[in-house]
Amino acid sequence: MNDLFLTYVINNVQGDRSKAFGDQGEGAEDMVARIVDEDSEGITIRGAKLFATSAIMANEIFVGSGQPLKPGEEHLAFACALPMAAKGMKLLSRKSFEANAVSEYDNPLSFRFDENDALVFFDDVKVPWDRVFVHRNTDMCRAQLHDTPAHIYQNYQAQIRLSVKLRFLVGLARAVAEIIGTINFPPVRETLGKLASQAALIEGWFWEWRRAAACVANTTSPTAIFCTPPSAISGNVSSDHRLDKRARRRRAADAAVFRQRFRQRRSGQNHRTHADIAAMSGRDRVKLLKLAWDAVGSEFASRHLQYEMFYAGAQFVTRGHSFRTYDWKRAGQMAAGVTEKYTLEQMI
């Protein structure tokens, strides 16, 4: 009952993308959240940030900037924490998938797993100084997220989420293949094997990271910070959207099942294995296929696909992180170690 739920918002609203955040032009001054006043009590901010996940259910919100700011944009460079009931703070939430779910039977995922995100507008919100973490410092806005483990921890939990989602999607793909009778087709088995290998890779990386962290924890001081190497996180993040998209696309290839008629079949079992899914009742077959549709074809499914594709930034951004964090020196030394062992003179 006393646990606080914290959401965060760190992205600036994008208007004219050919211009910097702080130079959107006349009429757009209030588009990006900025400091408009300050006094002995604190700062006043006005403008918008996006997207705050589950903001409508949160108690507090962290406001910062995860995107690079340049000199001259100090009025945009701040970080703070606010209660969701702060005077002047407004939430523009997207349409609720849960509210539009017909029933749990028809929409088993969106009925229970929707998490509304929202654009946050600050209408001259007063932030006391004791809630301000960064004040008019563009480099510190970047450093608090990228020079600390914050960015790694954020994306570490994203990999846990992805491993669970992939396991669910792969299991659902096999279940659909079994009830429509294609499970023994070689191309279907190949596809399911490919999806299973991708899911296993993500899970394998996750458990390896945990093992490495446990080893470090046993050999360092109690106050040490343990985190996954940035290059490992960046490499996974840059692959996330492709793995999730492939899993959904493979299942969507069986969309013809939604046009079939389903015959009622008798079965007295409540718990079925893969071997007897094909013998399930018509009602249970429909339930499984509705689950597949809610995971693949509904608005809820589309939102999750878009999220996995862009939550960490565009592809060139995530691959840029991989370029920045990879141990190029170690890799280069391997090549140099070969060429340094011989000279042209030795060949003559």
Write down the pLDDT at residue 263. Answer: 33
SS3 132: strand
Question: 46: which residues sit within 8 A by CB, 6+ positions away?
Answer: 30, 33, 34, 36, 122, 123, 124, 125
Query: Where among 115, 142, 169 does a domain terminate?
Result: 142
Q: Is residue 343 part of a domain?
A: no
Please check whether residues 109 and 195 belong to one and the same domain.
no
Please check whether residues 205 and 321 belong to one and the same domain.
yes
Please check whether residues 115 and 162 belong to one and the same domain.
no
Please check whether residues 124 and 158 belong to one and the same domain.
no
* H/E stretch holding 160: helix 150-179
Q: Is residue 339 part of a domain?
A: no
Q: Is residue 1 part of a domain?
A: no
Residue showing tokens 């779910």: 101
CA-CA distances (angstroms) from residue 118 to 51, 131, 205?
5, 22, 32
CA-CA distances (angstroms) from residue 194 to 187, 250, 297?
11, 10, 22
Q: Is residue 347 part of a domain?
A: no
Residue-level pLDDT, tens digit, the chain, 348 residues:
678 899 999 988 877 666 766 676 666 677 889 999 999 999 999 999 988 988 988 999 999 998 888 898 999 999 999 999 999 999 999 888 998 898 999 999 999 998 888 999 999 999 999 999 999 999 999 899 888 888 777 777 788 888 888 899 999 999 999 988 899 999 999 999 988 988 888 887 766 666 655 555 555 555 555 566 666 666 566 555 555 555 555 444 454 344 433 333 333 334 445 545 556 788 889 999 999 999 988 999 988 888 887 776 677 777 887 888 788 888 888 888 888 888 877 666
Write down the pLDDT at residue 256. Answer: 39
Write down the pLDDT at residue 261. Answer: 33
Angstrom distance (rounded) from CA 131 to CA 43: 10
Residues 118, 48 contacting (CB under 8 angstroms)? no
Please check whether residues 121 and 258 belong to one and the same domain.
no
Residue showing tokens 């094997």: 193
Q: Is residue 338 part of a domain?
A: no
Please check whether residues 168 and 285 belong to one and the same domain.
yes
Residues in the chain: 348
Please check whether residues 216 and 122 belong to one and the same domain.
no
Query: Where among 126, 142, 158 does a domain terminate?
Result: 142
Residues 158, 89 contacting (CB under 8 angstroms)? no
Q: Is residue 294 part of a domain?
A: yes
Please check whether residues 84 and 222 belong to one and the same domain.
no
Write down the pLDDT at residue 8. Answer: 93
Please check whether residues 103 and 190 belong to one and the same domain.
no
Write down the pLDDT at residue 330. Answer: 87
Write down the pLDDT at residue 25. Answer: 64
Q: Show the tokens assigned to 302.
A: 């589309």
Angstrom distance (rounded) from CA 31 to CA 90: 14
Strands 42-53, 117-128: parallel, antiparallel or unpaired by DSSP? antiparallel
* H/E stretch holding 89: strand 89-93
* Residue 55 lies in domain: 6-142
Q: Show the tokens assigned to 179.
A: 């009830």
* H/E stretch holding 79: strand 78-83
Q: Show the tokens assigned to 204.
A: 């394998």
Q: Which residue pairs from 136-140 have beta carbons closer than 8 angstroms and sit at least 24 positions apart in sequence?
A: 136/35, 136/74, 136/75, 136/77, 136/78, 137/74, 137/77, 138/69, 138/70, 138/71, 138/73, 138/74, 138/76, 138/77, 140/77
Q: Is residue 10 part of a domain?
A: yes
Choose among 29, 135, 157, 148: nearest CA to 77. Answer: 135
We report the CATH number of the domain holding residue 39 as 2.40.110.10
Please check whether residues 137 and 156 belong to one and the same domain.
no
Q: Which residues is 263 bridged to in the sheet?
A: none
**Residue 255 DSSP class:** G
Burial pattern 44-60, b for ≥16 Cβ within 10 A else e, equals bbbbbbbbbeebeebeb
